[in-house]
Amino acid sequence: MNLDDLKTLNLKDVGAWPVLPKVAALAALLVAVIFAGYWFDWSVQLEQLETVRQEESKLRETFLSKKKQAINLDTYRQQLKEIDQSFGALLKQLPNKSEMDALLVDINQAGLGRGLEFELFKPAANETASEFYAQLPVTIKVTGAYHDLGHFASDIAKMPRIVTLNDIKIEAAKDGRLTMDAVAKTYRYLDEEEINAQKKAAADAKKKGAGGAKK
């Protein structure tokens, strides 16, 4: 069958066409139908299918993560219990408000017990409050022998309550001894009333800031 034969085909009488042109026409029609279906419908469905597959993958990951957490729930509870116990032990190393004066006396006595002379022992006028504890810096200036100053610093570190020496500066005194300037920082835990007051003040400040921003 040649090109002249194709020109003689009657489009209104496809049934009379030879077999080969019929097959070619049906194949072209099938391709056109498939392309139209893809263009107008299947492409959208394929995109939706890909979206669903991605969501399925995320849900599967979430499920596996939750399953792992459920399997390790007892372990997490035990770890939380240990953390609470550790926190409680650390909290016991901090004095409460009523014990703070006694701690300051202990620091002073630690120096006197080593034969040091206090030229300055000045607690700060105000504490610095954090979420669970308050910090009180105490400026000290003591004079004594080198080894006595070392023993004093060691005694401070060994106290059952948490006390740290900061900003240490040592200079030679006139009589051959040494003078040490330092800031001893003491800590105490906040009681429930103080924590609640602190939270309320933070909330009020946040509301005030939000109100100012709206204006």
pLDDT of residue 121: 93
- pLDDT-wise least confident of 14-18, 95-99, 121-125, 200-204: 14-18
168 within 8 A of 180, measured Cβ to Cβ? yes
Partners of residue 134 on adjacent β-strands: 129, 188
6 within 8 A of 21, measured Cβ to Cβ? yes
Asked if the model's pLDDT at residue 19 lies above 90, the reply is no
Q: How many domains does the chain have?
A: 1
The pair of structure tokens assigned to 134 is 């308050």
DSSP structural state of residue 190: P
Non-local (6+) Cβ contacts of 155 within 8 A are 110, 113, 114
- Position with higher pLDDT, 196 vs 177: 177
- In this structure, is residue 157 part of a structural domain? yes
- In this structure, is residue 36 part of a structural domain? no
- In this structure, is residue 68 part of a structural domain? no
- In this structure, is residue 160 part of a structural domain? yes
- In this structure, is residue 144 part of a structural domain? yes
pLDDT of residue 171: 92
**Percentage, residues of the chain above pLDDT 90:** 25
Asked if the model's pLDDT at residue 200 lies above 70, the reply is yes
- In this structure, is residue 31 part of a structural domain? no
Asked if the model's pLDDT at residue 13 lies above 70, the reply is no
124 within 8 A of 114, measured Cβ to Cβ? no
- In this structure, is residue 88 part of a structural domain? no
Non-local (6+) Cβ contacts of 46 within 8 A are none
pLDDT of residue 116: 93
- pLDDT-wise least confident of 104-108, 142-146, 189-193: 189-193
- Position with higher pLDDT, 33 vs 155: 155
Asked if the model's pLDDT at residue 29 lies above 90, the reply is no
pLDDT of residue 78: 76
Assign 177 to helix, strand or coil: coil
Q: How confident is the model at residue 201 (pLDDT cuts 50, 70, 90)?
A: confident
DSSP structural state of residue 41: I
Tokens 């924590």 belong to residue: 195
Mean pLDDT of 194-203: 74
- Position with higher pLDDT, 97 vs 210: 97
The residue segments making up the domain with residue 160 are: 97-195
How confident is the model over 44-79, as pLDDT tens digits? 666 777 787 788 888 888 888 887 777 777 777 777
Q: Which phi and psi angles does 149 have, rounded to 5°?
A: -65, -40
Q: Give the separation between CA 116 and CA 141, rounded to whole angstroms.
A: 10
> Which pTM was predicted?
0.51
- In this structure, is residue 213 part of a structural domain? no
Classify burial at 178, counting beta carbons within 10 Å of its beta carbon; exposed 0-12, middle 13-18, buried 19 or more. Answer: middle
Among the listed residues 127, 111, 126, 123, the one whose alpha carbon sits nearest the alpha carbon of residue 188 = 127
Tell me, what CATH number does 185's domain have? 3.30.70.60
Give the amino acid at 80. L
